[in-house]
Amino acid sequence: MNRRAFKQQLSHALIKAKRSNMKLALLFFDLDKFKEINDTKGHEVGDLVLQEIAQRLKGSIRESDFCGRLGGDEFVVCLDLLQDHSGVINKAYQMLEKLQKPLQLNQESLEIGVSIGVALYPEQATQVPELLRIADEAMYTAKHQSGNTVYCAHQDKHDHTSLVS
């Protein structure tokens, strides 16, 4: 799903969540050092990496969840129809673990690092642009901390708390 389709589906998910008094989580993924793969292995290999990451994401979400590629090496996942957020961070780490498994491409093993930012509806944002911005900022915090980790925006929109040791 591309950026436009994802934003549209996320908008519908927010409306549905509000009507049914449910919650959702937005996970923002960025591949660490992806440019190096493109530069050293070529764009064809880079494209294969993106396809494999997309398949791994699709294979790790529930039927009610959805994912998309925003562009470049950025992906997003909406964990939809949640009673609460208690399992979101564990789910993000499970997805991180799945994405970190080496990719076998052209008889070569490639290790991929992923930084994941998490934003929560309705606690942190109630509109698509704000939810995406908060998740994006959380992802950049994860990337700047060390990369290859998960970072969740704190309940206070401007204060962040790392959920990683």
| Annotated catalytic residue within 30, 65, 73, 136 | 73
Contact 68, 2 (CB under 8 A): yes
Note if 159 is an active site residue: no
Q: How many CB atoms lie within 10 A of CB 108?
A: 10
> How far is residue 160's CA from residue 124's CA, in Å, rounded to a whole number?
11
Contact 116, 27 (CB under 8 A): yes
- Cross-strand bridge partners of residue 47: none
| Catalytic annotation, residues | 73
